[in-house]
Amino acid sequence: MPRPAKHHPERGDARARLLEAARDVIRAKGFAATSVDDLCKAAGVTKGAFFHHFETKEALGVAAAAYWAETTSAFFENAPYRKLEDPLDRLFGYVEFRKAIIDGDPAEFTCLVGTMTQEVYGSHPAIRDACAASIFGHAATLEPDIAAAMAARGIEADWTPASLARHTQAVLQGAFILAKATGDRADALDSVDHLKRYLTLLFSTPRSKGNPHDGC
């Protein structure tokens, strides 16, 4: 019987395939409910490969969050709206882009790190921290455009670019929860529309007072 002379072209990418499997499976089933076997099966690798690349399951969770941060970062950097000249246009372009990628099953468009953050809060602090870095790191990329848009319009606000940037993430994360609850992406889109309306109101008011509702 002749030697198969097997050359494995997929050799060397077990780690990447596991991270992609983690991204997809964990978004649907959650971190704890996803077993190592589940991940290996989804990635088409063996347990040996898994524990060659990741010391523990928790380490994979941390790596998956970091992988999510990397890939999404590149994804948004190369998005077409980034080429717009006006900072405010870029901000609204971002929101529109977020709306555009809300498509298919909720498990496909929702946020891995948002999902993991809540469930691992008390059980895997290391994963939670990696998720926090991803969320707030992404939020920070919005700050320059918000700040520039404020300056261009002479807006004096009682809110900061950072707080508004984080608020956009809060709305998106909350929108994902609603969409997962019903399985209907429309529930997410509705909320993002409210976010868009909020931004419109904020940046169409010359001197944004934003006062709390104190007894009209």
Partner DNA sequence: ACAAACATACCAACCGTTCGGTATGTTTCA
Partner DNA sequence: TGAAACATACCGAACGGTTGGTATGTTTGT
Chain residues in the site for a copy of itself (CB under 8 A)? 27-33, 88-89, 92, 106-107, 110, 114-115, 117-123, 128, 131-132, 135-136, 159, 163-164, 166-167, 169-178, 180-182, 187, 190-191, 193-194, 196-205, 209-216
Q: Are 58 and 127 in contact (CB under 8 A)?
A: yes
8 near DNA (CB under 7 A): yes
Residue 88 interface partner, choices DNA, a copy of itself, none, CB cut-off 5-8 Å depending on type:
a copy of itself
Residues composing the chain: 216
The reply on whether position 12 binds DNA by CB under 7 A is yes
Give 120: exposed, middle or buried? Use CB within 10 Å, 0-12, 13-18, 19+: buried
Residue with tokens 């959650």: 30
35 touches DNA by CB under 7 A: yes
Provide the token pair at 184.
């209907």
Can you tell me which residue has the tokens 């060659």? Answer: 52
User: Within 10 Å of residue 103's Cβ, how many Cβ atoms?
Assistant: 10
State which of residues 52, 83, 194, 197 lies at the interface with DNA (CB under 7 A).
Answer: 52
Cβ proximity to a copy of itself: between 15 and 106 the closer is 106
The least distance separating DNA from the CB of residue 128, rounded to whole angstroms, comes to 17
Nearer to DNA, 43 or 171 (CB): 43
Interaction of residue 57 with DNA, rule CB under 7 A: yes
Is residue 123 near DNA by the rule CB under 7 A?
no
Distances (CA, A) of 2 to 7, 199, 203, 214: 14, 68, 73, 86
Determine, following the binding rule CB under 7 A, whether residue 86 of this chain makes contact with DNA. no
Residue 122 binding: pick among a copy of itself, DNA, none (C-beta 5-8 Å cut-off by kind): a copy of itself
Residue with tokens 């290996």: 40
Contact between 209 and DNA by CB under 7 A: the answer reads no
Q: Which of 20, 24, 38, 129 binds DNA (CB under 7 A)?
A: 38
Crossing angle of helices 161-182/185-204, nearest 10°? Answer: 160
Q: For 154, which DSSP code?
A: T
Tokens found for residue 124? 């895997």
CA–CA distance, 82 with 104 (Å, rounded to integer): 24
Positions touching DNA (CB under 7 A) are: 3-4, 6-8, 10-15, 34-38, 45-53, 55-58
